[in-house]
Structure 1
Amino acid sequence: MTAKVTLAMFGSSLVSAYWNGAATYYRGMIRALDECGFDVTFYEPDAFERQQHRDMADPPWAKSVVYPATPDGMHTALEQARDADIIVKASGVGVFDEALESEVPRLRRASNLTVFWDVDAPATLQRMRDNPQDPFHAQVSKYDLVLTYGGGPPVVQSYVNFGARRCVPIYNALDPMTHHPVPAESRFHGALGFLGNRLPDREARVREFFLKPAALLPKQSFLMGGAGWDSNVALSPNINYVGHVYTRDHNAFNCSTLAVLNINRDSMAHVGYSPPTRVFEAAGAGACLLCDAWEGLEQFLEPDEEVLRVANGEEVAAVLSRLTTQQARRIGERARRRLLGEHTYRHRAQQVKTLLVEQLSGRVRSTRVDEERHRAAL
């Protein structure tokens, strides 16, 4: 690209990770897209107290626009985004999602692209299967392209069945500028750390993979971070619950325990091919990662060599009972090297750049052919 391609994205939040698990994904991807020659403006609503819990200033690699969480605020933002070369509606904005899903395709013209970027495709698709009247059924085919946070062949086929013109998974990745090894901190000490907000489709798996092994190993200390676990949850005395962990502390959190546990949400575990940001954050920091079993894990990390795959709470307890510090460090370092070589956001951004520029160029060529045919017919 000789000139920068302008990209407008409507998402949950770029500047706050508060109740916003997609923040790391947005930041890593958009920073890398900027390096690839994109001029990105990120539009987010002032909602859910995210602006009161910001954990970063406006970045130099994207323009951040926070609009009022009102219909007028949304329409003003849409009008500002109208002239972008690529206009993206991400899933899970949290405010006026249905309206944005309908309005963004209306900004489509001959010289631009409209994209739906699904950061929780298994959940979106399940919602559509459960409700044939879901308004998004009528919108899918209106987008030039659907990108997904993951999901592999099952998600691609499902979106095609729902009418998507094209669907491509753009997986999570490592941002080595943000997630990397740091010295351990005593406040995050423990045998096993888990970081994740309390969500309905995650809670049962947290009880199985984290709370159960903590109860089975009362002499070992466990570290728990994330919002929502301080109400009506029976935590055993050996669990140190530290609440919401700001992104500035993620590296220390991941580097201070013997191992770190990833627990997928039910829908992602069922579909597979959906590595969450926590996998890349922890492994990128050199942590020894324990991961609940799901199909496609080996596409990113090799089980037993770069990640320890566990099927239930008893297996978590068994692993912790025999895992040594030396073994944990070796596994974590192998994982970090694998991600740096194959799975950084720079790798993902190059994929997105090729895909979007190719699609955009195709739209422009098609428009020119149509115009020439029209002139010839006059």
Structure 2
Amino acid sequence: MRIVIWGLTVSSSWGNGHATLWRGLIRALAVDGHYVTFVERDVPWYRDTRDLHALPGGRLLLYRDWAEVLAVKRELLDADALIVTSYCPDARAAAALIAAEGRGTAIFYDLDTPVTLARLAAGEAVAYLPEDGLGLFDLVLSYTGGPALDALTTRLGARRALPLYGHVDPAAHRPVPPVAMFRGDLSYLGTFAADRQAAVEQLFVGPAARRPDRRFVLGGSSYPADFPWQPNIHFMDHVGPADHPAFFCSSRLTLNVTRRDMAAMGWCPSGRLFEAAACGAPIVSDDWDGLDRFFTPGEEILLADTADDVLAALDRDDTELRRIADAARARVLAEHSSAVRAREFVQRIERARRPASAAA
């Protein structure tokens, strides 16, 4: 199958969660014999932080002007599947082009469904959505399952909405020896987001303040100067994907905190959650509806609503934490790898393919 994706970015992992997910999925698709072209606008902030310059098993098409896309549109539009994603800066133009001239299955993949629906509920414009909704697509895929799928149908006119959850590439995220600069009792990896700041303060900063003898390690970009730093919080600005395994494997326990809209809607596991589990790190996470669909609480993951819950998790002995981590890693490799998700991806596309007469 030939697949063309108009997306936010695959070339830079800076400040976004899309790139790492696409890299794992595209690698797995290539192993299965599919060919992916990823079409990405070449914007300065990703150009300056680019950590992927060629797409193994596929093609990275960078453009600075939409005319460059139109110059090769026939080649792109003849693909078997034509995909537009959330936060693609030219999503509307790509959707219109696909609707007018595309021959393959038209797909919208919302990797940010809770944010999309929350903005619509607040009366805000969502620039990556076609003005007439999602009815022009043969299939709408959502990073979020559960009630979000009904909302995509009833509010945005999706004809068929199915989940395509996050995943992890075990070749990129695996157990590795600890690294001194990442060593800690509790780690947290995530870009700064105002809508999860309260939870980060409660579940990370709060425990750090109460355990000044413990080492807490925070990695991520865009943290403001007025973040409530503690003397025992050690900060790493933008930990790149290549360093994620060492980051996760260098602490006794790692924290997952979900963005507010994602947690409120549920059924939306972050890529970081699967990455940490694949690296064999014991995880303590905030709770949300549907989490038990991906990990069994108490056996594969620890849950925390308060700082006390995090401290109780930290107080567990190493043997118990290792047992939980090993169980989570086994679950991820069996159910949530990029290879598993790539097969689901292809199955969903094949089922949604337009009849030959409709595509002619």
Q: TM-score range by the shorter chain?
A: over 0.9
Deviates more, 1:337-346 or 1:72-81: 72-81
Q: Is the 8 A contact 2:133 2:157 kept in 1?
A: no
Deviations 1:145-176 (A, max 9, x none): 11111x22211100110210101101111211
Cα-to-partner distance string for 1:34-69 (whole Å, 9 max, x where unaligned): 22332100011111421222223413212111111x
Question: Counterparts of 1:267-306 in structure 2 under 5 Å?
Answer: 267-306=261-300
Task: Report the TM-score when normalising by structure 1.
Answer: 0.89
Larger displacement relative to structure 2 (186-195 or 213-222): 213-222
Equivalent residue number for residue 120 of structure 2: 128
In the TM superposition, residue 117 of structure 1 has moved relative to its aligned partner by: 0.6
* Cα deviations by residue, 1:1-52 (Å, 9 ceiling, x for unpaired): xxxx211101122121011211121111111122233210001111142122
Does residue 29 (structure 1) correspond to residue 25 (structure 2)? The answer is yes
Q: State the match for 1:72 in structure 2.
A: 67
Is 1:92 aligned to 2:87, yes or no?
yes
Aligned residue identity for 2:112: D
* CA–CA distance in structure 1, aligned partners of residues 324 and 75 of structure 2: 48
Q: 1:169 to 1:353 in 2, by over 3 A?
A: same
Shift of 1:74: 5.1
Q: 1:144 aligned to 128, 132, 138, which one?
A: 138
Aligned counterparts of 1:103 and 1:121: Cα–Cα separation in 2: 23
Q: Offset at 1:137?
A: 4.9
Structure 2 partner of 1:81? 76
Consecutive unaligned residues of structure 2, counting only runs of 5 or more, are: none
In 2: Cα distance, 1:34 partner to 1:203 partner: 38
Larger Rg: 1
Please give the root-mean-square deviation of Cα atoms over the aligned residues, in Å. 2.0
Q: Quick check: which one's helix share is greater?
A: 1
Deviates more, 1:286-295 or 1:126-135: 126-135
Relative to 1, partners in 2 of residues 1:114 and 1:239: Cα closer, same or farther, differing over 3 Å?
Answer: same
| Aligned residue pair count | 357
2:151 is aligned with 1:181: no
- Secondary structure of 1:140's match? coil
Letter in 2 for 1:125: L
Contact 2:277 2:328 in 1 (8 A): yes
Q: Partner of 1:335 in structure 2?
A: 328
Q: CA deviation at 1:92?
A: 1.3
Whether 1:62 and 2:55 are equivalent positions in the alignment is: no
Question: Unaligned regions of 5+ residues in structure 1, if any?
Answer: 372-378
Judged with a 3 Å threshold, the aligned counterparts in structure 2 of structure 1 residues 263 and 107 are, in CA distance, closer, same or farther, namely farther
CA distance in 2, matches of 1:56, 1:312: 38
Residue pairs, 1:158-177, within 5 angstroms: 158-161=151-154, 162-177=156-171
- Secondary structure of the residue aligned to 1:179 is coil
Distance 1:98 1:205 in 2: 34
TM-score in terms of structure 2 length: 0.93
2:87 partner amino acid: G
Could you say what secondary structure the match of 2:355 adopts? helix
Amino acid at match of 1:156: L
3-state DSSP of counterpart to 1:138: coil
Q: How do residues 1-378 of structure 1 correspond to structure 2 at under 5 angstroms?
A: 5-68=1-64, 70-73=65-68, 75-76=70-71, 78=73, 80-93=75-88, 95-109=89-103, 112-131=104-123, 136-149=130-143, 151-161=144-154, 162-320=156-314, 322-360=315-353, 362-364=354-356, 366-367=357-358
The superposition leaves residues 226-285 of structure 1 with CA deviations (integer Å, 9 ceiling, x where unpaired) of 001242212000000011101110000000000111111001101111000001110000
How far apart, CA to CA, are the structure 1 residues paired with 2:318 and 2:101?
Answer: 55
Cα drift, residue 73 of structure 1: 4.2
